[in-house]
Amino acid sequence: MGGPGHFAPNGRCASRPIAFWISRMNVLILGSGGREHALARACARSPSLGKLIVAPGNPGCAEVARTVPLDLADHAAIVALCERETIDLVIVGPEAPLVAGVADDLERAGVACFGPSRAAAQLEGSKGFTKDFCREFAIPTAAYGRFRSRNEAKAFIRARGAPIVVKADGLAAGKGVTVAETVEEAEAAIDGLLPASGESSAEAVVEDFLDGEEVSFFALCDGVSATAFASAQDHKRVGEGDTGPNTGGMGAYSPPSLMTAEMADRVMREIVLPTVRGMAARGTPFRGVLFAGLMIGSDGPKLIEFNVRFGDPETEAILERLDDDLLPWLAAAAKGALPGGSPAFSADAALTVIMAARGYPGEPLLGTRIAGIAEAERLPGVAVLQAGTRRAGDDIIANGGRVLAVTARGPTVREAQERAYAAVDQIRWPEGFFRRDIGWRAVARERAAGP
Ligand code: AMP
Ligand code: GLY
């Protein structure tokens, strides 16, 4: 088992200019979803890994790492775990601990953290903050207003007309957004967010509707510079054909054909790099992964929102395509020392289908038994990543809304999709459901283009 000062003389690690003789790192991943299972699998493959702990993790994470129960709101307990286990690097999965300042608390304790400080996590924590930031640094995004008064918000809505978008300011797990087709619908959304009279402590952002296709774009940032990581498209609606209520994401695929090398360069130049420079200029440097939710329209990419962590389920698909050693990249970003170049990805596609518990995104049915995971994983190019699961003896039990992230790789999105659904069909779980059409846009494009 390695700690700081243990060296692994091997030539397999890092085709990159990070280190030739690299010291092994003890790594703690915070979180318990499919994203964290995917991160844990990628770290477990790394020649530069010492020990790997996921807290609190899930039964999938437990196959590649030690899992430790932990309340992610208890930063003192996180720091104590790091000290006890001589952790060199903490990788933070979800946004809530970042917005609550876990990176600051780790820094005070001398532990490197992949994930931004509380001040830099405002890029996800407050939509108003991000809109003002975009205005200051000329980052393309929808025109907007910020409101604490109902009347002022409604006057703005009537002046701009519909379609128009109304958002709650703070973290709302994807539930604080109304894309209104009519002025009346937008006004009703304002009624739900702001009190009838006077100034409220709550805030609403109202912004223009952006037309185009959405892409999730990820860049690694070290406080002063950034490198493109990968991009994906996810399916946020619960129903096939992208209908019904929003969810955390019902599936994803990577790469999206829209994200050509030229488009990725543009996103880096127009959105990511100005953000990293702007945050540094303000004295709140951004370290970690910047997740830009983009709308790609006829006049190029515009920012819908930033997240300050990896996407879920995008990460499950993206990491299946990673042909590089993830860990040195994340460590370099955390330590403010990204090398030149960017991580290597396969030209293959990868596609993730989320299997959710009946009732999701409302009240999911918990406690039902899932069979067939091992059979699904025996199929070539398939990984079954676990999210809301728990173990009871030999059984895997549904323990959340999004439960499995069934992922497959293939030379085209169509083949990745076929393999992913062949794997889904191996899973015996009558109380679960999934969408049959993940990747439909890309598959239709491939059909139109190819033989
Ligand atoms: P957000 O929580 O800001 O990512 O918004 C959730 C979803 O609402 C996005 O993924 C988009 O599908 C949609 N959305 C948000 N803002 C806009 C906008 N200005 N124009 C069109 N769609 C939007
Ligand atoms: N899949 C969208 C997100 O992680 O927020």
Q: Which segment of 111-115, 170-174, 200-204, 397-401 scores lowest on mean pLDDT?
A: 170-174
pLDDT for position 169:
83
pTM of the shown model: 0.93
pLDDT band at residue 430 under the 50/70/90 scheme: very high
Q: Measured in angstroms, how far is the CA atom of residue 244 from the centroid of ligand 1? A: 15
Asked whether the predicted pLDDT for residue 175 surpasses 70, the reply is no
Burial call 321-350: b when 16+ CB within 10 Å, e when fewer = bbebbbbbbbbbbbbeebbeebbebeebbb
User: What integer pLDDT is reported at residue 171 of this predicted model?
Assistant: 67
What is the number of the ligand closest to the CA of 237?
A: 1
Task: Decide whether any atom of ligand 1 lies within 6 Å of the 292 Cβ.
Answer: no
Collapsed DSSP state (helix, strand, coil) of residue 107: helix
Q: Provide the CATH number for the domain around residue 159.
A: 3.30.1490.20
Q: How far apart are CA 234 and CA 118, in angstroms?
A: 27
Q: Which amino acid, 219?
A: A
- 255 within domain boundaries: no
Concatenating the DSSP letter of every residue in 136-180 gives HTT--B--EEEES-HHHHHHHHHHH-SSEEEEESS--TT-SEEEE
Q: Which of 37, 13, 38, 11 is nearest to 25 (CA)?
A: 13
Cα(246) to ligand 2 centroid in Å equals 11
pLDDT one-digit tens code per residue, 224-256:
999 999 999 999 999 999 999 889 999 999 999
314 Cβ below 6 A of ligand 2: yes
- Asked whether residue 20 carries a pLDDT value surpassing 50, the answer given is no
Residue 339 is predicted with a pLDDT of 94
Give residue 407 CA to ligand 1 midpoint distance, Å: 25
Secondary element (H or E) of residue 307: strand 300-307
Q: How many CB atoms lie within 10 A of CB 143?
A: 11
Mutation choice for ligand 1 from 179, 235, 305, 306, CB with most ligand atoms inside 8 A:
179
pLDDT, residue 13, reads 37
Q: What is the tally of structural domains in the chain?
A: 2
Is 312 touching ligand 2 by the criterion CB < 6 Å?
yes
Q: How confident is the model at residue 14 (pLDDT cuts 50, 70, 90)?
A: very low
Mean pLDDT for the stretch of residues 121-149: 95
Q: Is the CB of 234 under 6 A from ligand 2?
A: yes
Please indicate, yes or no, if residue 383 is contained in any of the structural domains.
yes
- What is the CA(130)–ligand 1 centre distance, in A? 14
C-alpha to C-alpha distance for 151 and 190, rounded to whole angstroms: 9
Taking the C-alpha atoms of residue 64 and residue 356, their distance in angstroms, rounded to an integer, is: 23
- Residue 38 inside a domain? The answer is no
Tell me the average pLDDT across 4-24: 43
Residue 236 Cα, ligand 2 centroid: separation in angstroms?
A: 8
Percent of the chain surpassing pLDDT 90: 88
What string of DSSP letters covers 207-223? EE---SEEEEEEEEEES
* 47 close to 16: Cβ distance less than 8 angstroms: no
Residue 442 in domain: yes
**Best residue among 216, 305, 402, 438 to mutate for probing ligand 2, ranked by most atoms within 8 Å of CB:** 216
Q: How confident is the model at residue 176 (pLDDT cuts 50, 70, 90)?
A: confident
Asked if the structure places residue 271 within a domain, the reply is no
Q: Is the pLDDT of residue 21 over 60?
A: no
Which atom belonging to ligand 2 lies closest to the Cα atom of 252?
1
- Tell which residue, 1, 6, 3, 48, has the closest CA to residue 327: 48
CB–CB of 393/411 below 8 Å? no
Is residue 159 in some structural domain? Answer: yes
Greater pLDDT, 3 or 314: 314
Taking residues 284-301, report their average pLDDT: 97
- Evaluate whether residue 277 is within a structural domain: no
Q: Six-digit token pair at 340?
A: 């030149």
142 lines ligand 1 (CB under 6 A): yes
Q: What is the pLDDT of residue 331?
A: 97
In the predicted structure, residue 10 carries a pLDDT above the cut 50: no
Is the pLDDT reported for residue 124 higher than 50? Answer: yes
Q: Is pLDDT at 173 greater than 70 in this prediction?
A: no
Q: Are 447 and 414 in contact (CB under 8 A)?
A: yes
- Whole-number pLDDT of residue 359: 97
How many angstroms is it from 249 CA to the middle of ligand 2?
A: 6
Residue nearest to atom 3 of ligand 2 (CA): 311
Checking if the pLDDT of 6 tops 50, the result is no
Is 288 a pocket residue for ligand 2 (Cβ < 6 Å)? no
pLDDT at 436 over 90: yes
According to the model, what pLDDT value does residue 143 have? 95
In ligand 1, the atom with minimum distance to the C-alpha of 127 is 3
CATH at residue 445: 3.90.600.10
- Mean pLDDT across 412-424: 98
Position 170 scores a pLDDT of 72
pLDDT at 104: 98
Mean pLDDT (whole number) for 362-391: 98
> How confident is the prediction for the chain on average, in pLDDT?
93
Residue 229 lies in a domain: no
Q: Give the structural domain span for 443.
A: 349-449
307 lines ligand 2 (CB under 6 A): yes
- Ligand 1 pocket, mutate which of 139, 177, 291 (most atoms under 8 A from CB): 177
Band (174; pLDDT cuts 50, 70, 90): low
Residue 366 has pLDDT above 60, yes or no: yes
Task: Give Cα 273 distance to the centre of its chain.
Answer: 19
Atom of ligand 1 nearest to the CA of 142: 19
Contact 167, 146 (CB under 8 A): no
What's the pLDDT score for residue 195? 85
